[in-house]
Amino acid sequence: MEREPIRYPASDHLLTPQNVALVVINYRPSQVQTVATMNRGLLVNNIVSATRMAKRFKLPVVSPTVNVADGQGPTIPERKAELSSISGKFYLAKLG
C-alpha cells in the first residue's frame, strides 16, 4: 500500500490554518436590531458559532472595527466573550 504524500499547509490547495483566516465584521447591537430578514437570535448564534469554529480549528481571526468612536458602540456581548477567549492569532483591525 502506497503512502499519501506529505502535504504542506502553506501551499496546499485545501484550506488550513496556515493559509486561511476568518474575517467577521464587528457586529454591534444597533446592527443586529436592523436585521429583518432572519431571526435575530439565529443571527447572533451564527456569528458566535463561526467564531467558536475558528477557535477550535486554531484559525487566525480578523475583526475589523469601524466608527466605534462615533458612538456605534462595542461588539455584541456574546461575540466579545468568544473573541476574548481566543488565544493565538487574533487581530483587531481599526478602520476609518
Note whether residue 8 is domain-resident: no
Average pLDDT over residues 5-12: 77
Note whether residue 9 is domain-resident: no
Average pLDDT over residues 25-30: 83
Query: Rounded to whole angstroms, how far apart are CA atoms 7 and 53?
Result: 23
> What's the number of domains the chain is made of?
1
Note whether residue 17 is domain-resident: no
Query: Rounded to whole angstroms, how far apart are CA atoms 94 and 2?
Result: 50
Q: Predicted confidence band at 81 (pLDDT cuts at 50, 70, 90)?
A: confident
* Alpha helical stretches, state H, the chain: 29-33, 40-56, 77-84
Angle at 33 between CA 37 and CA 43, to 5 degrees: 55
Note whether residue 49 is domain-resident: yes
Query: At residue 59, does pLDDT exceed 70?
Result: yes
Average pLDDT over residues 55-79: 77
Distance of CA 71 to the CA centre of its chain: 22
Note whether residue 91 is domain-resident: yes
